[in-house]
Amino acid sequence: MADLRSEFVGIKSPNPFWLASAPPTDKEYNVRRAFAQGWGGVVWKTLGLDPHIVNVNGPRYGAVWGADRRLLGLNNIELITDRPLEVNLQEIKAVKRDFPDRAMVVSLMVPCDEESWAFILKKVEDTGADGVELNFGCPHGMSERGMGSAVGQVPEYIEMVARWCKAHTRMPVIVKLTPNITDIRYPARAAKKGGADAVSLINTVSSITAVDLDSFSPEPSIDGKGSHGGYCGPAVKPIALNMVAEIARDPETRGLPISGIGGITTWRDAAEFMALGAGNVQVCTAAMTYGFKVVEEMISGLGQWMDEKGHADLGAFTGRAVPNVTDWQYLNLNYVTKARIDQDLCIKCGRCYAACEDTSHQAIAIRPGRVFEVIDAECVACNLCVNVCPVETCITMERLEAGTVDPRTGRTVEQRYANWTTHPNNPMAEAAE
């Protein structure tokens, strides 16, 4: 049986699945039930200074749905905790006492002065919590008051606050990053420079999910008006994966622990984040959609996969995909493939034809009897037909053996690896060695 035990910046938990700082971790009642269900840890809903903030009293969420109303993306305009600091601290202390084996990290967001941070860190330390996460991510509401992503978008502030925190606590400090920035490596580098023990990402993406076409109000609508919210759930996973990978392979931040967040819904999503360098993962929307029970599938699924692949523990696969993330210029241009349609699996819908004929390279022919065939002399191997085909594995991309002639280019496929940096069409090409 695979060992799912996790240790992240010295914080131990029975599995790598933590609940992200959000409504699921908003209070003692929730967190106790989450732990009872099997979650490895939580990042408590972000605390702030008293007087506590207030939330809107109308709807907080907007959503994007797929078929059968499957929730694909969730958008929220909720702020940080709207309960008194002292109440939260007592609850954190009580839960940690009763669940000593679970990770208890506390998310924090206070004004950008050293005194405020020092004050709250002391309070959190007294609860027996395992660590803190600095919320520099919230893209709405708090940012208008100079907190949240207003800090996260300025690397100098991140570095400064991280440094203060490290100076005022012995607890591990995790900096939570906002994706609402052009290049995620800069805030990550700043966090590292400031002495942070880890980064966690992503927080939510600034978004408007929909507009009501009768009232012309953005959704969710508060008395006819809306404000942008933070987007999360399955829809943001690709954005989050890329940002995690960017930090994992950046020479300046290499080795900096990462807690992966963003759209994690199944064990597979979690495994992908970890393969791209995340030491553990945090989940919010999946729990908000399906309840705490989803962690049972995550635990059993990850365990089964690790057993099948012979990964004894989390370390065995963490970061394994990082070396394979590279820049476009280093991709092998001698890797030549062609689409192949398995006629036995083909159900003759013709979607590949419509896609290729109308928007790609006119490389699929319709033969009598609705038989769809790839024209090798036209196929550029773009993969679009594979992506639009409703039948899994019906269309595959097959590599042309070295020595065969690509009928499209008339060139013989070469065995050796060659990329753009040495390509004759590249004005900046280096001479081939």
Partner 1 sequence: MTASPQTPGIVAGRLPSAVVADNFSDVAPPLTAHEALVAADRCYFCYDAPCIAACPTAIDIPLFIRQIATGTAEAAARTIFAQNIMGGMCARVCPTETLCEEACVREAAEGKPVEIGRLQRFATDKLMAAGVHPFSRAAATGKRVAVIGAGPAGLAGAHRLAMLGHDVTVFEARPKPGGLNEYGIAAYKTVGEFARAEVDWLLRIGGIEIRHDHALGREVTLEGLRADYDAVLLGVGLGDVHKLEVPGRELVGVRPAVEFIAELRQAADKSSLPIGRRVVVIGGGMTAIDAAVQSKLLGAEEVTIVYRRGQERMSASADEQEHATTTGVRLVYHAVPIRLEGDGRIERAVFAYTMETEAGLAVSEETFTLAADQLFLAIGQTLAEVPAGLVLEAGKIEVDGAGRTGLERVWAAGDCRHGGEDLTVTAVAQGRDAAMDIHAQLMGG
Interface residue list for partner 1 (CB under 8 A)? 67-69, 347-351, 353-354, 370, 390-391
**Tokens 């202390």 belong to residue:** 93
Can you tell me whether residue 13 is helix, strand or coil? Answer: strand
The residue (of 240 and 385) whose beta carbon lies closer to ligand FMN is 240
Choose, by CB under 6 A, the member of 21, 149, 153, 253 that binds ligand FMN: 21
348 binds, among ligand FMN, partner 1, none (CB under 5 to 8 A by kind): partner 1
> Of these, 8, 42, 45, 278, which contacts ligand FMN (CB under 6 A)?
45
Residue 391 contact, options partner 1, ligand FMN, none, Cβ 5-8 Å cut-off depending on partner type: partner 1
**Token pair of 195 as six digits:** 């002495």
Give the contact letters, 138-177, x = binds to ligand FMN (CB under 6 A), - = no. x-------------------------------------x-
Pick the catalytic residue: 138, 346, 379, 385?
138
Among 4, 9, 80, 171, binds ligand FMN (CB under 6 A): 80
432/288 Cα distance (integer angstroms): 54
User: In sequence order, which ranges of 329-405 are alpha helices (DSSP H)?
Assistant: 351-359, 384-388
Nearest to 372 by CA among 387, 394, 393, 392: 394
CA distance 232 to 400: 40
- Asked whether 85 and 50 are in contact (CB, 8 A), the reply is yes
- Per-residue contact string for residues 217-256; x = within reach of ligand FMN by CB under 6 A: ---------------xx--x--------------------
Measured distance CA(118)–CA(168) in Å, rounded: 6
Tell me which stretch binds ligand FMN (CB under 6 A): 85-93, 245-253, 258-266, 271-279: 258-266
Are β-strands 11-13 and 6-8 bridged in parallel, bridged antiparallel, or unpaired? antiparallel
**Joined tokens for residue 318:** 């963490």
| Of the candidate residues 153, 203, 259, 280, the single one contacting ligand FMN (CB under 6 A) | 203
Measured CA to CA, the distance from residue 236 to residue 55 in angstroms comes to: 24
Q: Please select the residue that binds ligand FMN; options are 152, 172, 194, 262, rule is CB under 6 A.
A: 262
Angstrom distance (rounded) from CA 135 to CA 402: 52
* Beta strand residue intervals within 136-214, DSSP E: 173-176, 198-201, 205-207
User: Are 138 and 149 spatial neighbours (Cβ–Cβ below 8 Å)?
Assistant: yes
Question: Taking CB within 5 to 8 Å according to partner kind, which of partner 1, ligand FMN, none is near residue 88?
Answer: none
CB of 391 to partner 1, least distance (A): 7
Is 379 assigned a catalytic role?
A: no
Angle at 409 between CA 407 and CA 412, to 5 degrees: 75
Contact between 284 and ligand FMN by CB under 6 A: the answer reads yes
CB 271, min distance to ligand FMN, A: 15
Record the tokens describing residue 47, joined without a space.
């605390």
Catalytically annotated residues:
138
Chain residues in the site for ligand FMN (CB under 6 A):
20-23, 45-46, 74, 76, 78, 80, 107, 135, 137-138, 176, 203-204, 232-233, 236, 261-264, 283-286
